[in-house]
Amino acid sequence: MTDNGLGSWPRRRAGMTPDKAALVQDGAVTTYAQLERATTRLAHGLRAHGVARADRVAFLGMNSVEMVIAMFATARIGAVYVPLNTRLAPPELGYLFEHSGADLLLVEDTLSSVAEQARAGASGPDMVVFSRQAGSGLDGLMSEDDSPIEEEIGLDDLFMIQYTSGTSGLPKGVMLTHGNVIWNVYNLLVDIDLGSDEIALVTAPLFHTAALNQVLFPTVLKGGTALIEAKFDAAQAIDLIEGQRVTLLFGVTTMYLALSQSRRFHEADLSSLHLALSGGSPIPESLLQTWLDRGLMIVQGYGLTEASPGTTMLRAADGVRKLGSAGTACFFTDVRVVAGERDADVGEPGEVLVRGPNVSPGYWQDVDATERAFTNGWLHTGDVATRDAEGYLRIVDRLKDMYISGGENVYPAEVEQALYTHVAVAECAVIGVADATWGEVGHAFVVVREEHHLDADELLRHVGSRLARYKVPKSVEFVPDLPHNASGKLLRSRLRKALS
């Protein structure tokens, strides 16, 4: 076989376990043999539609078996997969169409009107609309030809352009090669003992790197079963964990919070779960403890799209001892924390630098951004962390989110951790706002837990007993919820805009 890329995985796995359930959605099972056949037929269909090697195939839709088949079929013919965020507005999608140079757009019928608006007045990609039908929704584009495709694919060939969340400014297209993703999977499997009997619940969006590269791909490589849910629903997730005996769960902070606040959380049978993974942003220690009380350690790591995404991992054995830490570097990845031109001292905040075979070669059609972010083989992440004496990282914040109050650096994440220690705080966010005396001071947005009451003075006294005075926010605003993007990251830009 000349295909050493990700598109060959259905074929390789079908040769080993053809009758094993690969994907399950809405009760319908797709075996590995069926996944391979659908991948091959769609690959032939894409070629017949005019898609050639290195062309970009964009996908706009909720999590689905169709999405997985489209991704593997695109890779099979050496084309480049471009997953799109379903929450984007038409102008944002239009920018991505143009920037990626997508040749074909596969769009779920529920999103076709948004896609049409995005293509209006622009030379958008050819569009094929499908419905979500447990894998058969793309049958109209599939060829009857299911003969093997022999396309030579190497690890350095481009697999995907994954657009960053775009929490500020225009999103950048992160180029991920077949090798980047495969090495990321290897990193994960060194740290986590996934088996062929794994039943993984995939509810986080597959257009982001964490659910795709940290859950779906490792499950397929090992020959496990992925339960594909179109979107996250806490009650449905608990039903599936209990009914399908889910063993592997992935979520971001907002998902784990929603599950813990479910009325069924404390009585639900979670005994089948042996692994709960997290990504996107650090989980507050109070929420980690809530899950620990249910006997489950949420395995946190640190990563970013540019690293496919795995960079560090807090292994389960150290979970309690290093609660809240992001762990140490993954096996095939190197990590530094630098202050200026030198490695930061123990406990000193510095920027995280990363290198390894899982790290992207750069940004699509953006030489300047690539040169700024990648120097001498190292990726400058823009994230601030500290290292302890044993080398464990603790993510402090984003460089751009730091503000300066009275000449002192304040990292919002540290203040938020202090806020989370109050029993009534469900979610919170802190941003810097202009102040005539101090230059900038903190303003806290707080979501109060159900059945709790809280006033600003009480909360600020609580935080003041835990932090230096200059770090304590000067004002508190109670809100019903906080804005997040689809990967669960807090959208501070919206909070700043709301204040302005």
**Topology of domain 6-387, per CATH?**
Rossmann fold (3.40.50)
Closest by alpha carbon to 398, among 243, 168, 196, 203?
Answer: 168
Residues 6+ apart with CB under 8 A from 271: none
Which pTM was predicted? Answer: 0.85
Q: What are the pLDDT tens digits along the chain (500 aa)?
A: 899 999 999 999 999 999 999 999 999 999 999 999 999 999 999 999 999 999 999 999 999 999 999 999 999 999 999 999 898 888 889 989 999 999 999 999 999 999 999 988 666 799 999 999 999 999 999 999 999 998 999 999 999 999 986 444 578 999 999 999 999 999 999 999 999 999 999 999 999 899 999 999 999 999 999 999 999 999 999 999 999 999 999 998 889 989 999 999 999 999 999 999 987 677 888 889 999 999 999 998 999 999 999 999 998 889 889 988 999 999 999 999 999 889 999 999 999 999 999 999 999 999 999 999 999 999 999 888 999 999 999 988 777 787 878 777 787 888 998 899 999 999 999 999 988 778 789 999 999 998 899 999 999 999 999 887 889 999 999 999 999 876 677 888 889 888 87
What's the CATH superfamily of 402-499? ANL, C-terminal domain (3.30.300.30)
The DSSP element (H or E) to which 222 belongs, if any, is: helix 217-222
Which residues lie across from 374 on neighbouring strands? 379
φ/ψ of 414, rounded to 5, equals -65, -40
In 16-111, DSSP assigns E strands to 21-25, 28-31, 56-60, 80-84, 104-108
Give the HSE-up count for residue 355: Cα atoms under 13 Å, Cβ half-sphere: 7
- 487 vs 252: CA distance, rounded Å: 7
**What are the boundaries of each domain within the chain?**
6-387, 402-499
